[in-house]
Structure 1
Amino acid sequence: MRTTSNAFAPDAISIHPRALEVGGEWVASFAVTGYPREVHPGWLQPLLTYPGRVDVSLHIEPIDPVTAAGRLKKQLSKLESGRRHTSEKGRLIDPQVEAATEDAYDLAARVARGEGKLYRFGLYLTVHAPTEEALGDEVAAIRSLAASLLLDCKPTTYRSVQGWITSLPMGLDLVGMRRTFDTSALSAAFPFTSPDLPPPDPTSVGAPSGVLYGFNIGSQGLVHHDRFALDNHNSVILGRSGAGKSYLVKLELLRSLYRGVEVFAIDPEDEYARLAAAVGGTHVRLGAEQVRFNPMDLPIHTRTDGRRTAPRDALVRRSLFLHTVISVLLGSELEATERAALDRAITATYQRAGINSDARTWTRPAPLLADLASVLTEIDVELAARLQPYVTGAFSSLFSGATTTRPEGHLVVFSLRDLADELKPIGTLLTLDAVWRQVSNPAIRKRRMVVVDEAWLLMKEHAGAEFLFRMAKASRKHWAGLTVATQDTADVLGSDLGKAVVANAATQILLRQAPQAIDEITRTFDLSMGERQFLLSADRGQGLLSTGTQRVAFQSIASPTEHHLVTSNPAELAENPAESRETESAFVELDLA
């Protein structure tokens, strides 16, 4: 036994006040006496990944509930007594004492409810270096790193031997400088906890799947996420104007194309034109000359063999969809009598065009909105008069003919910039309907992504919000993912339908938030105080990626080529005016014969 122990023992130890010379190297030990108020999973990762040799030792001792309750009561008495004494003397309140008192009350409440336990936690560091001079540099670097983590390190002066032994894997704490931790804080300090997202298959040694979103702010690792590996493939992105929301959406869109995902994007500000032109996509500009969408078209699918099919209830579905269309056009919900009149008018309009319940008649040319208004004149004159601006008036150009475009291709972008503001909600609805026809085609099964940028344009209309909710619920069954991005958080979270759309998104991304909206964001996503402050002060492109059980802070990154395609910064685009010109749209004619 003596021979075995001597094999692991150093030849000699030279003791100095703040360091030891152990064998042929120098070591210095520190005890951590100050901690940040909040810690996150993997908060010790920077210490563990330090390029030099550093021993990180954690000593944990559980405290029985009876003793914990007594100590908390005594500590609360001390803090409360100090606060009252300060108040009686008319002195300024110490912010640190106030924070400590609040934390003590919160901790006592959690322990009393059985939501956690208390532990005595000691954190010690031992730095190694080949020479005494090198040790001084390593100590300065470690203390700077610890200070950046809000850790207060004290050297074990005149106790260097005890500090070194405490850092050895012997289970001996000869320094005894510990701090009380609760269960959640202790679990976050577990040495093998990582702030990175776990891979879908931990046993896989291959490259991570999914899309690269950026680098992890906590660990500097890369954040890869595959939304198609989750229970549903939907994503919601919330951020204030200028937070980098559209930049991140376009970056994810471009990298999804690399993986063979078919993408449809609804672009309210014509920001996707350069991206569509660069990758050979189709750019449809609503509001331009000869661009028409007929809302009365039946959902006819073309199979791979050229045959045209439709769902068994295609006529009924289109009739129900027309109720939504008319509600969005009129900007209000229809009364019961108006819905009944509209339903009779829709049926009569299709019958006059030779389309009835017989599926063989569904391939005939569909009637127009003007035909529906003409029939409504015979049933409900007032309702027909309200539709006149969209039939013969100033807003009729989008509906004045048969559909001229069909969304086909690996990337289809619908631009709404040329549409009047009054037509953008209905334009978004009609493009979503056209996209849904492609997504729900049972003859073609492939991964698809539908992007709705500035979704508040549709969410502010109740009928439009209902359509978006139904799409979010059903897209998973068709191997599609809906991406909802908006800067108007109040419109999304201020309604039950908006909250339902968020709840049906397994991937949730929060970028920088406005102070006026942060309270609602905090309640909806159950953010901690640290996450709340992070979202208020986040730089452009920084945000929180939540995948249900995991939440990670990241910074989006792009290559120079990707940045050129996805940026919408006017200053950068002004430097290359020739490259930032509007790209001619590519249209695909729809043969209704």
Structure 2
Amino acid sequence: MAGATAPPSEDTSEAGAANLGDLLAPSALRINVSSLDLPEGCCASFAIAGYPREVGAGWLEPLLTYPGRLDVSLHVEPIPPIAAAQRLRRQLARLESSARANAEAGRLADFNVEAAADDAAELASSLARGHGRLFRVGLYLTVHALDAEELDAEVQQVRGLAGSLLLDAQPTTFRALQGWTTTLPLGTDAIRQRRTFDTQALAASFPFASPDLNAPAGSTGVLYGVNVASSGVVVWDRFAQDNHNSVVLARSGAGKSYFTKLEALRLLYQGVEVSVIDPEDEYRALAETTGGTHLALGAKGVAFNPFDLPTDQGDDTLIRRALFTQTLVAAMLGEPLKPSARPVLDRAILAAYAAKGINIDPATWTRPAPLLADLVEQLAISSHPDGVEIADRLAPYVSGSYKELFAQATTTRPDGHLVVFSLRDLPEEVKSVGVLLALDAIWRKVANPADRRPRLVIVDEAWMLMKEAEGARFLYRLAKSARKHWAGLTVVTQDAADLLASDLGRAVVANSATQILLRQAPQAITAVGEAFGLSEGECAFLLSAERGEGLLCGGNASDRAAFAAISSPEEHQVITTNPAELLDHHDGEGDPL
């Protein structure tokens, strides 16, 4: 046994440390043949000398989630393409020469050589086409324990685990110190036990990959949380799936709105534009923190003019606005328009625009748009009985109890990277009208061919929207066609049984490649289990899941992962709606942080 002792540093504070090595260095250590004795225990290191021929995504997960203390270090060094091509040519020449010599001598073919030759030829072809690169990769392990006896047991378990992965773990005999320092976060490979990896094999070694998910990863991946079974992370990209829709089902208090806000916030990081229909005003803090737009429909001083004309959506914009206004008036009246009333209303709408100098010429669309009061005026002077009747019935929206939303020009335009339509302040009598205005504004953005970008539409507490005829039609249309407009729909509801019992609900679920199931009520678990093909174990997990825990179901039956949503303290302050936590986070001036 060889030993060495390092004297303690005179100044062990961070300010007096010369470099990272000084911070990580122990006060003393003893170097043995294949292990190190540290002040608080001992450790042994291994270099991976043999690998399986093929690896799958997340193949390092068993090592990363080892229950003991195990340091895993992966050193990656790119090989210049020219050098890689030269090495592959030499390797191919050696393998082909060996195979030819065996054939000439009449010996049986060496299948290992043939497999290596096939792999080398495939790599050479990939490099020549620019589909990948080669890297020198070193994988090293360091096992820690409190004493030598425990270390021996841990070493045997780790080597057995590595063997089950077809990895040949060799101890760093007589290089114990170099093995330990190689697994420290210093970026130094003192062992240099390398293996050549191509791009795909290296990507499969990425530690932030869940082996339970085989779906493709795109450029807008979002961290959903930690895998409850393996402690690995669950990253999902909804925009890389067959469609971009998702459904979030959970009982009240299971954390569905929290998870939805967390995903929306992280998609904002990726440049995704988000629109939210918020029945309970839970997204206000998120909008204010991220510089988004918050429209509290029904609140005092907030007006939304449905006659506003966008200037970038085609030559038929005025006609489309006129048609939508007819739908809006029918919602205000609470019944479909009579056939005789439609032409009267159509003429009055166009006359209201003409009175403001607006016609089919796009150059006039920048002028101030008419208000609902201007339409009522045109209906009143039409002298047609149907027009006069409609004008009388619209009086509450112009000069009566419901005028707040239509009394003036739009106060806040629904533009920006995050737009939240809050419906909490809308009276029940006009909620259908406010919902229709919000849905129309969202659809105009999503379906605008002149402004294509990734978008997400969140409908929280969707059961409230589905009670309205126009809201139900909107959900159905968006679920069917969102993908064509580079958009995704997120439907969040706590009434899973009601959603799955309706044709509309089943259509939304069938067109959602991302399905998030949080804690479920016992009364709904049977319907949820049948609809999503859950096993008995998965159903039991959803019945006992803690708040924020759930099951991610992808488009394929093999893409399933149980996860626990996690957030940073800063994200938590923005998205939490827990009254007790909001009270604790006051900034001293009466406003929540």
TM-score (norm 2): 0.59
Which amino acid in the other structure matches residue 282 of structure 2? E
- Alpha carbons of structure 1 residues 352 and 277: separation in structure 2 relative to 1, 3 Å: closer
Match of 1:314 in 2: 317
Is it true that 1:325 corresponds to 2:328 in the alignment? yes
- Is 1:466 aligned with 2:469? no
* Secondary structure of 1:510 counterpart: strand
Give the one of 235, 238, 250 matched to 1:227: 238
Question: Residue 533 of structure 2: which of 517, 526, 541 is its match?
Answer: 526
Q: Is the 8 A contact 1:324 1:463 kept in 2?
A: no
Distance 2:529 2:323 in 1: 37
**1:353–1:365 contact (8 Å) kept in structure 2:** no
Q: Which residue of 1 aligns with 2:457?
A: 450
Q: Distance in 2 between matches of 1:431 and 1:372?
A: 20
- Equivalent of residue 213 in structure 1, options 224, 236, 240: 224
Matched residues in 1 for 2:534 and 2:577: separation? Answer: 30
* Letter matched to residue 556 of structure 1: A
1:277 partnered with 2:288:
yes
The one-letter amino acid of 1:197's match is L
2:275 corresponding residue in structure 1? 264
Change (3 A) 1:422 1:541: farther
Aligned to 1:407: 414
**Cα distance 1:208–1:392, how it changes in 2: closer, same or farther (>3 A)?**
closer
1:198 aligns with 2:214: yes
1:261 offset after TM fit, Å? 1.5
Equivalents in 2 of 1:445, 1:581: separation in Å?
41
The amino acid that maps onto 2:349 is: T
CA contact (8 A) 1:507 1:545 kept: yes
Q: 1:433 Cα shift?
A: 1.7
- The structural deviation recorded for 1:362 is 4.9
Measure, in 1, the Cα distance between the counterparts of 2:519 and 2:491. Answer: 16
Deviation at 1:580, TM superposition (A): 9.6
**Structure 1 residues 61-460: aligned runs within 5 Å:** 196-198=212-214, 200=216, 210-298=221-309, 300-301=310-311, 309-331=312-334, 334=336, 338=338, 341-342=341-342, 344-354=344-354, 362-363=365-366, 365-373=368-376, 378-380=384-386, 386-460=393-467
For 1:254, what is the secondary structure of its paired residue? helix
The equivalent residue for 1:576 is 585
Deviations 1:475-505 (A, max 9, x none): 3222222222122335533432232223222
| Amino acid in structure 1 at the alignment position of 2:571 | E
Residues 313 and 450 in structure 2, CA contact (< 8 A), matched pair in contact too: no
Contact 2:352 2:374 in 1 (8 A): no
Cα shift at 1:467 = 1.8
8 Å CA contact 1:292–1:403 kept in 2: the answer is yes
Q: CA deviation at 1:254?
A: 1.1
Q: 1:318 to 1:450 in 2, by over 3 A?
A: same
TM-score by length of 1: 0.59
Query: Contact conserved, 2:345 with 2:379, CA < 8 A, in 1?
Result: yes
Q: How does 1:506-525 map to 2 (within 5 A)?
A: 506-525=513-532
**In the aligned structure 1, how far is the partner of 2:497 from the partner of 2:343?**
34
Deviation at 1:244, TM superposition (A): 0.4
Q: Given the superposition, is the C-alpha separation of residues 285 and 352 from structure 1 closer, same or farther in structure 2, using an over 3 Å criterion?
A: closer
State the alpha-carbon separation in 2 of the partners of residues 134 and 400 from structure 1.
77
Q: Is the 8 A contact 1:195 1:219 kept in 2?
A: no
**C-alpha displacement at 1:562, in angstroms?**
1.0
C-alpha spacing 1:263/1:459, structure 2 compared with 1 (3 Å): same
C-alpha distance in structure 1 between counterparts of 2:443 and 2:424, whole Å: 21
Q: Are the structure 2 counterparts of residues 463 and 439 from structure 1 closer, same or farther at C-alpha, using a change threshold of 3 Å? A: closer
Structure 1 pair 358/280, CA: closer, same or farther in 2 (3 Å)? closer
**Secondary structure of 1:493 counterpart:** helix
* 1:159-215 Cα deviation digits (max 9, x unpaired): xxxxxxxxx9xxxxxxxxxxxxxxxxxxxxxxxx975212526xxxxx985000001
Summarize deviations over 1:191-245 as a string: whole Å, max 9, x none.
xx975212526xxxxx985000001122221110111111221222121211101
Task: Give, in whole Å, the separation in 1 of the partners of 2:507 and 2:590.
Answer: 39
**Taking structure 1 as reference, are residues 363 and 471 closer, same or farther at Cα in structure 2, changes over 3 Å only?**
farther
CA contact (8 A) 2:551 2:562 kept: yes
Q: CA deviation at 1:340?
A: 5.1
CA distance in structure 2 between the aligned counterparts of 1:323 and 1:581, rounded to whole angstroms: 45
- Deviation, 1:555, is 0.8
Paired residue secondary structure (2:492): strand
User: In 2, distance between residues paired with 1:330 and 1:279?
Assistant: 38
CA deviation after TM superposition for structure 1 residue 276, in Å: 2.3
In structure 2, stretches of 5+ residues that fail to align are 1-57, 70-144, 159-165, 167-208
Distance (Å, rounded) in 2 between the aligned partners of 1:51 and 1:539: 22
Provide, for residues 353-389 of structure 1, a one-character-per-residue CA deviation record: whole Å limited to 9, x for no partner: 3266665665554443344455666343665555443
Amino acid across the alignment from 2:345: A
Q: Indicate if the aligned counterparts of 2:462 and 2:493 stay in contact, CA closer than 8 A.
A: yes
Q: Provide the C-alpha distance between the structure 2 equivalents of 1:352 and 1:50, rounded to a whole number of angstroms.
A: 72
Cα distance in structure 1, aligned partners of 2:395 and 2:524: 39
2:338 counterpart SS class: helix
SS in 1 for 2:404: coil
Q: Report if the CA contact (8 A) 1:266-1:415 is conserved.
A: yes
Q: CA offset at residue 293 of structure 1? A: 1.4
Distance of 1:441 and 1:519 partners within structure 2: 41
Residue aligned with 2:402, SS: coil
Structure 1: segments with no counterpart, 5+ residues: 1-41, 54-128, 143-167, 169-192, 202-206, 302-308, 585-593
Q: Which amino acid aligns with 1:229?
A: A
Q: Deviations over 1:270-300 (max 9, x none)?
A: 22222223222232322233321122334x2
The code of the aligned residue for 1:514 comes to A
